[in-house]
Structure 1
């Protein structure tokens, strides 16, 4: 199969690329950081293709897809992995630019990418869209504000895709991880503050990027009549918070 992975330069995306290629499939590595995806493509060999892509730019998406060589155009699996969280400040303090960036990437970029690839899948009568959601889209927490809202959007968009795709042979899954370490996620969220990022995982055994990659691979290799609507994963060290109560 041919798997198109956005945000493939690090974290979940890079782990997914390695997992699919290791199991005999072809991976299109799409990201803004050309040097990183070029290095990863070199590591993975002829079964990987590096494509420079910014999901927040419709022109970039169109150019990337139009530039795919023969033998790489019939995408079987689209993994909408590109996304980010920025800040944990409360809603009345967080910079509006951080909200705008999350919405542009996690929502607008994801739907634009999906709309560009979906017609080909429907025409061929098969395909799978895996959208990277988050437990933050299911459970609120202080500082989650717009990040959690974007992931709730991903969940509902995925379910609505399923409603439209019934009978087409095209599947859609929301893959929603909990606490996951070993990626750039928290470093990005805290704008490069390594100490703050490290504190998130202090004393925990979180999920890994490989755990998420293996889950995506399992979903993609299920029989064609099975659709995983949504799958949520947490490490055993993570649970659910009590309600916040303000006491006077």
Structure 2
């Protein structure tokens, strides 16, 4: 399979690149810094085609499309993993710039990536889009009060909720092609920006996602999962 992974230079993104590559697939990690490009090229010397672009900018659409075309005419899986953390959890302190930055990466970044890869997905026999969402984007969990003591940022929760709506919109539009579109919560990851209750290493989350994805069927489209754990409510 040919697998494109945004934010493929660190954390969960890098672990996803690693596990797909170790299992014989060709990987297309998308990164925005030249040093990340060099690192990936030196770490994975075959079947790895790093792409240098910034999905927070509109130019990334043309850059992604042109760089993919140098190596293949099809992409089987697009994993929209690129993301940035939010900081402010108090309405009196939140800046509209932080809100716009998070929305731009988590939601518009997915829009740009899908626009750039749609032609290549259409050429796959089993095309799939996986959007790395979060439990914090679940309106049902939020309304239940589950996160009331977590001090989670406004911008991250809002951006992930918007991304979830985008997942549903894409599923309804692309279902006739058919392209499967699914949102996943990877688990409570132990990263530099992880939550207070984080309990999962990125490499374990990547293993779960890989196993779940390879054994999943078309009926996962338009749904929200924590891989190998449960289906989640929107």
TM-score, normalized by length of structure 1? 0.79
Number of aligned residues? 219
Pairwise CA RMSD: 2.4
- Whether contact under 8 Å (2:133, 2:163) holds in the other structure is yes
Q: Considering only CA atoms, is the larger Rg found in Structure 1 or Structure 2?
A: 1
Which residue in 1 is equivalent to 2:59? 59
- Distance, in Å, in 2 between the alignment partners of 1:145 and 1:85 is 10
- Separation (CA, whole Å) in 2 of partners of 1:231 and 1:128: 15
Q: Distance in 2 between matches of 1:125 and 1:167?
A: 14
| Contact persistence 1:90–1:143 (CA under 8 A) | no
Do 1:125 and 1:169's aligned partners in 2 also have CA atoms closer than 8 Å? no
The reply to whether residue 174 of structure 1 matches residue 183 of structure 2 is: yes
Report whether the alignment pairs 1:157 with 2:150.
no
Shift of 1:230: 1.4
> Counterparts of 2:89 and 2:218 in 1: how far apart (Å)?
43
Shift of residue 217 of structure 1? 1.6
Number of the residue aligned with 2:115: 115
1:169-205 CA distance string (max 9 Å, x none): 3111101134210x3434xxxxxxxxxxxxx55xx66
Corresponding position of 1:80: 80
With over 3 angstroms needed to count, the CA separation of the structure-2 counterparts of 1:51 and 1:212, relative to structure 1, is: same
Q: Please report how far the alpha carbon of residue 145 of structure 1 lies from its aligned counterpart in structure 2 after TM superposition.
A: 1.7
Tell me the residue number matched to 1:20: 20
Q: CA offsets, 1:71-126, max 9 Å, x none?
A: 43411111100012220331221232211210111111111111221243235453
CA distance in 2, matches of 1:90, 1:223: 40
CA distance in 2, matches of 1:217, 1:73: 23
Q: Is there any run of 5+ residues in structure 2 with no aligned partner, and where?
A: 230-234
Distance between the aligned counterparts of 1:24 and 1:234, measured in 2? Answer: 22
Q: Kindly state the Cα deviation for residue 63 of structure 1 after the two structures are TM-superposed.
A: 1.5
Tell me the residue number matched to 1:185.
193
Give the corresponding residue for 1:242: none
Q: Which runs of 5+ in 1 are unaligned?
A: 187-199, 236-248
Displacement of 1:224? 5.0
**Per the alignment, in what secondary structure is the counterpart of residue 41 of structure 2?**
helix
- Which moved further from structure 2: 211-220 or 98-107? 211-220
How far is the alpha carbon of 1:70 from its aligned partner? 4.1
Contact preservation (8 Å) 1:54, 1:61: no
Question: Structure 1 234/96 Cα, relative in aligned 2: closer, same or farther at 3 Å?
Answer: farther
**Which of 201, 214, 218 lines up with 2:207 in the alignment?**
214
